[in-house]
Homo-oligomer: A and B are copies of this chain.
């Protein structure tokens, strides 16, 4: 069986471009004892993919010359492990290719939920990241003001909607008028700030007149800096990502006001990744399903066809062109 693979030919020093990727063709690997052969169906695209190219994070860095890493939904086509049989759906870091052979212990078996794209959006890393980060670290109370950046992205769009379910005033920060209108008119955000126009600090001050109780930070940098002085005493900053620092050269200096404002306002800043809450995922998925069924939580997915489209789709995601969860359909 033919196996197409997208290789990261070089780790980018500046902005990521198509020249950093190359497609090659080989044959599907043979699974070893206790491994399974997987056919990749949907690859998750995430800003974190770019961070993996910089250095070791919560995983080792992606190396030049290797298949580009990435989480995906895949189907077992041949199994040499007792726990898996052909037809099983799993989540795994298959990388950007048609087929992967992986040890059984590297696979997470997925429940039967249709459409399966939902397993990468609301019931996958995006929805669970929003759920655990906002509820466990942000600890929203009714009437709290929640600000979320990259609000039209996969995680942000869920954060804002869950904030509304919890009775908060929700302000989204996004790029462009169209996204801002979509957040307010379709997703029920109370306000939206277009970071591409004028002073974000001034716009946030107007959109959050009682100050900010929870800032769910997907971007770091200047938007975090704009939020810091607006935080209320005892506020919580949920550190989920720092996209502003991923697609460039050396890390820039941090936001002004750290740590001075953290002291003065007794803020809590806490980082997390969704795997920290892996044991609680079933409860979370059940609650997310209830919200989807009652129409309180809307799902926005951005599915792009073809493995060959993955590089351009990731580059576009880093430029903010997507709404909701972006993924690449590799097969059936």
Contact = CB atoms under 8 A, between A and B. Distances in A.
Contacts of A254: 225, 253-259
A48 to B, nearest CB: 9
Nearest to A261: B271
A153 interface: no
A270 interface: yes
Given A254-B253, A269-B270, A58 B264 contact: yes
Contact of A272 (B51, B220, B252, B263): B263
Contacts of A57: 264
Interface string A51-94: 10000011000000000000000000000000000000000000
A273 B269 contact: no
Given A268-B270, A271-B267, A239 B251 contact: no
Interface stretch (A112-120, A166-174, A203-211, A240-248): A240-248
A45 interface: no
Contacts of A240: 263
A182 to B, nearest CB: 26
Contacts of A257: 251, 254
B270 A220 contact: no
A265 interface: yes
A271 B276 contact: no
Nearest to A251: B256
A239 B259 contact: yes
Interface in A203-229: 217, 220, 224-225
A198 interface: no
B267 A245 contact: no
A252 to B, nearest CB: 7
Contacts of A224: 259
Interface string A283-306: 000000000000000000000000
A52 to B, nearest CB: 11
A125 interface: no
Chain B CB within 10 Å, residue with most, of A58, A220, A237, A253: A253
Contacts of A241: 263
A239 B265 CA distance: 11
A260 interface: yes
A183 interface: no
Interface in A33-50: none
Question: Which 8 residue pairs of A and B lie closest in terms of their CB atoms, listed nearest first?
Answer: A254-B254, A253-B253, A254-B258, A262-B271, A263-B271, A242-B260, A269-B269, A239-B262
8 contacts: A58-B233, A240-B263, A242-B260, A253-B256, A254-B255, A259-B269, A264-B273, A267-B271
